[in-house]
Amino acid sequence: MHIKICGLTNPDDAFAALDAGADMLGFNFYSESPRYIAPTDCSRIVSAVRNRQSEIAMIGIFVNQPSRFVAEILDLCGLDAAQLSGDEPPHLITRLWGRAYKAIRSRSIEEAEQDALRFTPLASGEPALLVDAVHAQLYGGTGQVADWAVARYLSARCAVLLAGGLTPENVAEAIRAVEPWGVDVASGVEAAPGKKDHRKMIDFVKAARSAVAQLA
């Protein structure tokens, strides 16, 4: 089970996520998000974290940005991959040389099947897809729970990172229901938008690991 703590904005929270046992850290470059981080600040955090733990995966979150911009930020900040959380077309993943995966918000199994056909053949690593909750106006970070039946369908076919309304209280249930490649949390472990609750991060990771042990 891979655990991603997303929407990090400061060094203290990043190190607390690392200490809690996260496998992936996410940094949001969508300027309208309350979890937005400037590239220069992200670069400093990534460098400091890698000095302690070089193996942890660092992910940049982007919404409807051109491939050149995304690639420049990945290189500037020393990030491993881009999470494309907007309305990006499949060819953007190709233009990023496989250094990206797509977040989808499928409304049905049929729509999920089409999304998987469009995006998973282009993903060269893992995860292949992130499954998030459907929202008419917002691109993630809503606190709304994703459709676990859709996520379960996709998880049987590719490496799915499950997001959408996960908390320390429901992540174990979500893992049992979906059996995803990994789980992704942002608002569910916050004290306020952009500021993490360190206790909640610890509880989230513990609950996720416990659920995986029960499935084994």
Q: Counting Cβ atoms within 10 Å, is residue 68 exposed (0-12), middle (13-18) or buried (19+)?
A: exposed
Q: Residue 132 catalytic? A: yes
95 DSSP β-pair partners:
none
Task: List Cβ neighbours of 66 (8 Å cut-off, separation of 6 or more).
Answer: none
Q: Residue 184 catalytic? A: no
Neighbouring C-beta atoms of residue 207, cutoff 10 Å: 21
To which residue do tokens 């309208």 refer? 32
Query: Of 67, 174, 152, which is closest to residue 106 (Cα–Cα)?
Result: 152
Q: Which of 115, 132, 147, 184 is labelled catalytic?
A: 132
Joined together, the tokens standing for residue 75 give: 């290189």
Active centre residues (catalytic): 6, 132
